[in-house]
């Protein structure tokens, strides 16, 4: 069948703000960062700063060279359906 690609609003993203259920958005893609928390070289606290929000700026300020898309491939949840990313 056809793979359904889910999109979420910023309001939905904001609901996922705890360590047990944490989402972040990077360049329009939403990831569940909960499974990655204990592996993050910068620590859980740092990574949680990006939870429930668009973490692109924080991420780019700290390590723009890190290939998050590859690393978080299995954590991909869907797309952030914001004004910037919505289709015409």
State the residues that interact with ligand HEM by CB under 6 A.
Answer: 24, 33, 40-42, 46-47, 49-50, 55, 58-59, 62-63, 66, 68, 71-72
Distance of closest approach, residue 14 Cβ to ligand HEM, in angstroms: 16
The whole-angstrom separation of Cα 47 and Cα 22 is: 10
**What would you report as the CA-atom Rg of the chain, rounded to the nearest whole angstrom?**
13
Residues 6+ apart with CB under 8 A from 7: 78, 79, 80, 81
Distance of closest approach, residue 47 Cβ to ligand HEM, in angstroms: 5
Distance of closest approach, residue 33 Cβ to ligand HEM, in angstroms: 5
């Amino acid at each position: 069948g056809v793979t359904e690609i889910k999109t979420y609003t910023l309001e939905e993203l904001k609901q996922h703000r705890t360590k047990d259920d944490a989402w972040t958005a990077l360049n329009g893609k939403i990831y569940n960062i909960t499974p990655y928390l204990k592996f993050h070289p910068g620590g859980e606290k740092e990574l949680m700063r990006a939870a429930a929000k668009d973490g692109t700026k924080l991420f780019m300020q700290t390590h723009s060279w890190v290939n998050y898309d590859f690393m978080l491939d299995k954590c991909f949840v869907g797309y952030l359906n914001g004004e910037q990313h919505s289709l015409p």
